Amino acid sequence: MNRPRTHLIEIDADILPAGNGAAFDAIDAAAGALDRGDVLVIRTHPSDGTKGRAVRRASKVLRALRQHMVHNWSLPRSSRVELDAESRGVPVAPFRSRRFLLPHQDGGHCSFLTPSRLDCAGLSPEERVYSSTVYWRRPSHKMYQGFLVTEPGNTPGSTFYYNALAMLDDAFVHQQGRPPANIEELAGFALQNLRRSRELQSLHGSRYLTLGAFLGAREPAHHVSPSGPRAESEFWPAQYLSLPNLAALAEECPCGNCDGPGVRLVCHTCLETLGLSWPQVRARYEATIVAARHDLVIANNLTLFHAADSDELRTLVPMCIVTSEAAGHEYERWLARQWRNHTPIDETAVAA
């Protein structure tokens, strides 16, 4: 399936922890959906009340969900719920009233998809850190990215999700002229792409693995991430100096419809890696969530990229399921399961 499925699930935080009955069924349904790679909007009851109360209720639901996934869906016991400070969608430029965040993964210095060592034994856990010196807020590996909407904005913001493994599979076909034979071959392609980007890091200067790098772009300019990563953002002068092709890619969009240096570069990236323009990528892969005030939105941060359109009044409280170290047998087994749940290749067995 190219587009992630989306679900609205209502959970009454007042009757948690769930033993049996409606609360248990709702938590179980939410856990199963997350394990399949779907996107959840969780609505707690009641929806009225203060921001502080909404944060406490959503946090309680997320902790119950994490515990249920540990006991029933192979989530590593080392995982935990992590909350961060409220963030605001401030536009980049004063003449703009909205911003568009291009596809990314939260905590991108270390929270990106790598193969499981059960499928790709040559991978070292240290390769799951792209930058240990420059990153956004926290060094934890975000397994599930979530946020509580505290203010939707004048025009409610939209969050968009993209199946990273469906895109990776299609990129393999586009570049190799055939589908991957099995999970191991697709995993090897992903690891090769990561290693290439790391080798080029002194040239492109990015501290995060970009969509282009993940999908196998060979042009170093496609490994550059716009600030934010915002569609309307300019690049740094040093990036233009070190990458002569960057100026032309940021100046002229191949489809003629993309507005802003960041998104024009992404359009070129999509064309190189997938044979599709950015609007065509959106039409093929994008799932849309528009959440109401005090909704909790959560999805797999590794197997899904996400983007967002919002105005300057939209505010969110990040709520994620994270781990301090992306290593160990429990993590590798969970990760191997995610590859099988979210990849078009028909393989279901995971080593015990």
Q: What is the pLDDT of residue 95?
A: 59
- The residue whose two tokens read 């929270």 is 111
Alpha helix (H) residue ranges in the chain: 22-36, 51-72, 164-176, 183-199, 201-204, 211-214, 237-242, 246-251, 261-274, 278-285, 329-342
- pTM of structure: 0.94
Q: Residue 151's closest CA among 54, 24, 73?
A: 54
Cβ pair 40, 301 in contact under 8 A: no
Dist CA 100 CA 310 (whole Å): 7
Please work out, in degrees rounded to the nearest 5, the angle formed at the alpha carbon of residue 91 by the alpha carbons of 144 and 206: 60
Q: What is the pLDDT of residue 349?
A: 53
What is the domain partition of the chain in residue ranges?
A: 6-342
DSSP assignment letter at 109 = T
DSSP assignment letter at 107 = T
Residues of the chain with pLDDT under 50: 351-352
Find the helix or strand (DSSP H, E) in which 322 lies. strand 315-323
Q: Name the β-bridge partners of 160.
A: 288, 307
Cβ pair 9, 42 in contact under 8 A: yes
pLDDT in tens, 141-174: 999 999 999 999 888 999 999 999 999 999 999 9
Q: What is the pLDDT of residue 232?
A: 82
Q: Is 5 exposed, middle or buried (0-12, 13-18, 19+ CB in 10 A)?
A: middle
Q: What is the pLDDT of residue 347?
A: 61
Q: What is the pLDDT of residue 345?
A: 77
CA torsion sign for 233, 237, 242, 248 is positive
Preceding omega of 220 cis (within 30 degrees of 0): no
